[in-house]
Structure 1
Amino acid sequence: MNDVILPRLRNLMAERGIDAALAYGGANFMLSTGFQNYFDNPAASMALIPASPSVHSLMIVSNWTAEAGRAAAKVDVIESFPLWLEIADIADIRNGTAGRSEKPTRFDPEANIQRLATAILERGWGRGTIAVEMALISAQVFDWMRKKLPDVTFVNGADLFFEARKIKTAAEVEMLREATRYAEGGLKCIAETPIVGFDVARLKLVYDEFCNERAKANPDSGFQGTRVTASIGADISPTVIGGAKASAETLVFFDCGASIRGYGSDTGRTLTLQPPTQEARDIMDALKRGMDAAFALVRPGARLADIFHAGQDAVRASGLDWYSRGHIGHAMGIGMGEMPPFIGPKDNSVLEVGMVMALETPLYVRGLGGFQIEECFVVTETGFDLLTSLPRDFLPATA
């Protein structure tokens, strides 16, 4: 279990009078246990983390992934549940002692919730308080939890987990830095490839090919895949396949990320195949001023709301007085999606040393194209260290 995250999580639980936190799959499970479970279906990756270090922690995974879990996780007790797979022991096969056993058709999530409920009751929390990120739990699963544990108080632990995860270790920062290298390398590869006639799917093939080749050359990097959001020209809606094709006149919006051992980068630029029109140039310059103004405030103790207003106000003062965003940045970590805290108008939390954030001022203009500048940084004692390195402008591409 993460030796930095666990004490922080336990301190937060103790402050809030919470007996234990339930990490229900995904990023919370991985961060709480140190195990990235291949089989991360609902109720197939659960970890119960007590507030008190004197109480045993628990991980519930399938019998297929249990051995990998034992090798990777730092959890006191690991329980496994059967799958439909036939799993045999070579010694039993050779000795003729292998026996038949009944298998489920798929897996039984209610039975797994019963395992969880039994563990909670055994630990004396039948009337306790358990934190869980509610958005991750289906109504059906929550109904099972309430029926099997009628006197337990379940509270939403989303902010608890995000608070525990927000400060990154040096190892986590390095994984995010490497993920950003992959992402920027893929962007550069697209810029160096003649892309006239390419649709979004072909652009992604170029991007993925670069990342895969980099991974082949660095097999121990932990590369685990990519994410792409892209649009071409006036067709600003992101597409997966088909849609508009790049021409010498079009703007190509490209927002992308790569995953290193589960930690995802997030960056992007707008590619141009010829010098942009004055209209496009003016828009990009306004967005750049927003980025510059926002970054001028980035340091430990800076309020996220202040950074937001500085960035948005600078864009507005540069000729786009109607420009309005819900946020201009977010935290980065496990996964490749946006996560709290957000650099938004109502977030009064502050930057802290070790937080890794993305800052962006995108704009989508129907009839013209998408504009993107997104930078990634880690907060340092003196300010920030950029993970990204591309120029904060249009990215010139080969016609």
Structure 2
Amino acid sequence: MNYIQQRRQTLTQSLKKHGVDAFLVTAVPNVTYLTGFTGDSSYYIATHRHNYIVSDARYEEQIREECTELEVIIRGHDKTTLEAAAEVLNKSGAKNVAVEGNRITVGELEQLKSLSPRITFVPINGEVESMRLIKDPSEVEQIRAAVRIAERAFQMFTATLRETDTEKEMVDALDGYIRRAGGRAPAFQPIVAVGERGALPHAPPTNKQLGEGSKLVIDWGVDLIYKCDLTRTIRSPFTTMPMRKNKYERVGVNFEEVYNIVLSAQNAALAMIKPGVKAKDVDAAVRKVFDSAKLRRGPKDVKLSDFFTHGLGHGIGLELHEAPRIRANSNDVLDSGMVISIEPALYIPGWGGVRIEDNVLVTHNGCTLLSSVARQLPAGVEQETEEAVE
């Protein structure tokens, strides 16, 4: 089945609904979605009878390999892609042209108006993004492939950790393992946070060494055109509990206890996921777990949900963060075929954080985890018996 052709047909059918003669698509992920082209700096134009891709000579051969069903317009070096697209629209006779209102800049829209004064440009928000909400089988398989590469990279990473590795060195190593395992690149700069620095959700890498903390937050993803996004929190292989030599990592909070609360919250979210469920209700289920949980040791007279400082998750696909949004103020409703991340966390200042993130496919009667990296702590891990250190 030619899924890409089906997508173009769906967009063409929307022209009548919007009262336009053509649709100019400029956002890179949306161009990829509609054409299969894996480069950038190119636009897609849909009319009732034609499908154009407008690019430059750098990509001419690649486009002819990847986009055999499109009319290819290669601009000269003396004009911009926007100028070339305006020429195509002028020659098409279109009177009303839709543009991506949530993607095109004010400057680009003004330039289009000056290049094509006889055309009325109609900003339309989220047309292609709404099509991308539900992944077809080919998209799901590409996300699964990215996850498999991420899992291999994680195995290589954890197998080669050294006590003296700094956060910066570990980030660089994980970047390399992602590429070595088959990824085009990381989906984002990996996050590797030692000890108390795990309380920073997006901790920038420092020279803090692995042996200086008792736990490690690892957030990584793979760009394989389609993307994945995973997080695990593990005990340090070298330090099982906060030590006197580390004056920064506050003791008095039990790692296993915090970890299992976060895992319970993720399980509560997974149990709720199915078509028809409101995204905000899944977020609320996690916060309910945190609100009802109490730490035997640690901060007193607080709601643990106060330590969960971001939304529960997001859609994932051609972009790392896309619809649906899984958070308290979301109006999105889950449906079969959506792929989302579920990433509950607790960030306790001075102690660190625990985050567990997995990518999930919404199915007709529930959901399926796309990743197989262990979520439970290894069996037989001893409970910490931490004593307060002055």
Q: TM-score, normalised by structure 2?
A: 0.81
Kept in 1, the 8 Å contact 2:214–2:240? The answer is no
- Residue in structure 1 matching 2:155, options 180, 188, 194: 188
In 1, Cα distance between equivalents of 2:37 and 2:20? 24
- 1:59 paired with 2:75, answer no
Q: The residue matched to 1:64 in structure 2 has which SS? A: helix
Which of 184, 190, 211 lines up with 2:178 in the alignment? Answer: 211
Superposition map of 1:218-237 within 5 A? 223-226=183-186, 227=188, 228-236=190-198, 237=200
CA distance in 1 between partners of 2:145 and 2:34 (Å): 22
* Structure-2 residue corresponding to 1:146: 113
With over 3 angstroms needed to count, the CA separation of the structure-2 counterparts of 1:296 and 1:124, relative to structure 1, is: same
1:314–1:248 CA distance, 2 compared to 1 (3 A)? same
Offset at 1:248?
Answer: 5.7
Aligned residue for 2:197, secondary structure, equals coil
Q: Which amino acid aligns with 1:29?
A: V
Q: Which residue pairs with 2:388 in the alignment?
A: none
> Could you tell me whether the CA contact under 8 Å between 1:233 and 1:244 is conserved in 2?
no
Shift of 1:79: 0.8
Query: Pairwise mapping of residues 1-399 of structure 1 onto structure 2 (< 5 A)?
Result: 2-37=4-39, 40=40, 44-50=41-47, 52=48, 55-83=49-77, 108-109=79-80, 112-126=81-95, 128-135=96-103, 137-150=104-117, 151-157=119-125, 159-215=126-182, 223-226=183-186, 227=188, 228-236=190-198, 237=200, 238=202, 241-247=205-211, 249-260=213-224, 262-273=225-236, 274-275=239-240, 278-319=253-294, 320-335=304-319, 337-393=320-376
AA of the residue aligned to 2:196:
A
Output the CA distance in 2 between the equivalents of 1:279 and 1:12. Answer: 55
* Secondary structure at 2:280 match in 1: helix
Q: Which residue of 2 aligns with 1:99?
A: none
Unaligned runs of 5+ in 1: 84-103, 216-222
3-state SS, counterpart of residue 69 of structure 1: helix
- 1:94 counterpart residue number: none
- SS across alignment from 2:272: coil
Q: SS of the counterpart of 2:63?
A: helix
Name the CA distance, whole Å, in 2 between partners of 1:190 and 1:20.
48
How far is the alpha carbon of 1:182 from its aligned partner? 1.6
Paired residue type of 1:20: A
CA distance, structure 1, for counterparts of residue 196 and residue 11 of structure 2? 46
8 Å contact kept, 2:168–2:207: no
Distance 2:168 2:324 in 1: 32
Could you say what secondary structure the match of 1:178 adopts? helix
| Code of the aligned partner of 1:367 | G
| 1:208-235, Cα deviation, whole Å (9 max, x unpaired) | 44334433xxxxxxx3111312322223
Aligned residues: 352
Question: Taking structure 1 as the reference length, what is the TM-score of the superposition?
Answer: 0.80
Match of 2:248 in 1: none
List alignment gaps of at least 5 residues for structure 2: 242-251, 295-303, 382-390
Is 182-191 or 11-20 further displaced after alignment? Answer: 11-20
